[in-house]
Amino acid sequence: YGVPQIELNNGVRIPQFGFGTFQLSADDVTAAVRTALEAGYRHLDTAQAYENEEGVGEGIRQSGVPREEVFVTTKLANDAHGHDNAITALEGSLQRLELEYVDLYLIHWPLPNQDKYVRTWHGFEELVRAGKTRAIGVSNFGVAELERLAHESQIVPAVNQIELHPALQQAELRAQHEARGIATEAWSPLGQGEVLGDPLLTGLAEKYGKTAAQIVLRWHVQIGNIVFPKSATPERIRENLAVFDFELSDADLASIGSLEAGLHTGPDPAEFRG
């Protein structure tokens, strides 16, 4: 069972299912990335702020999987906003990853109080034209920031990466993305594990002969989100990817809708100031 690919608004294709590396230390990340690639993952999500880009690059090389078969995302650190800084920051990430290009480069947080994200984005537009990244996108952007980019720049972000899981379903932003041709990437797709004990999910797990984590990841896949759950445990790394051999019924998909609780397990972008 293959992982589906989603076509981004510039024609680049992204595997809908990948591996997240937040909170994996520089020491642990290499083995985790190698395990993920050996298990069949072909999409990795890292960031300058995770301080593990060297280990991610090393994991790719150790796996023996050709570079061009792996979709690599990294993100601009919060202290690197601005047109010129953005260009320098990606150069630094490429050196740490030991890659010639990344597949997707994201503004990690808009930090609207600094009012630099539009100039940063103009730097990103140059980076994609220069071939340093195949696509550019944003993360933690709200409706107002997407609107401002639309008015003050040329390239529509390929993705917006936002916190999204059964307890925070982001209906408004998902509709905005749909209208603007932006793909939705779901960070903390398992709510960092916090949502998995819910009786509705454990009940569905029993019904389908899967784990609650697999039920949640399958829900994301069926509603069209791009996901990259994180685990340091080889068994869970493999378990999380094993969601392409079953399908949730429409009624069961809809029942997960009832778990919306407005729960932020990470920083709320409306309040986050870096």
Number of residues that bind ligand NAD (CB under 6 A): 26
Q: Annotated active-site positions, please?
A: 50
- Residue 191 CB, shortest distance to ligand NAD, in Å, is 6
Binding mask 88-117 for ligand NAD (x = CB under 6 A): --------------------x---------
- In order, the DSSP letters of the chain are -PPPEEE-TTS-EEESB-EE-TT--HHHHHHHHHHHHHHT--EEE--GGGT-HHHHHHHHHHHT--GGGSEEEEEE-GGG-SHHHHHHHHHHHHHHHT-S-BSEEEES---TTT--HHHHHHHHHHHHHTTSBS-EEEES--HHHHHHHHHH-SSPPSEEEEE-BTTB--HHHHHHHHHHT-EEEEESTTGGGTTTT-HHHHHHHHHHTS-HHHHHHHHHHHHT-EE----SSHHHHHHHH--SS----HHHHHHHGGG-----SS--TTT---
Decide: is 192 part of the binding site for ligand NAD (CB under 6 A). yes
- Residue 214 CB, shortest distance to ligand NAD, in Å, is 7
Decide: is 239 part of the binding site for ligand NAD (CB under 6 A). yes
Decide: is 59 part of the binding site for ligand NAD (CB under 6 A). no
Beta carbon nearer to ligand NAD, 71 or 130: 71
- Residue 62 CB, shortest distance to ligand NAD, in Å, is 20
122 assigned ligand-binding residue: no
Residue list for the binding site for substrate: 108
Q: Contact residues for ligand NAD (CB under 6 A)?
A: 20-22, 45, 108, 139-140, 161, 187-193, 196, 211, 213, 228-231, 236, 239-240, 266
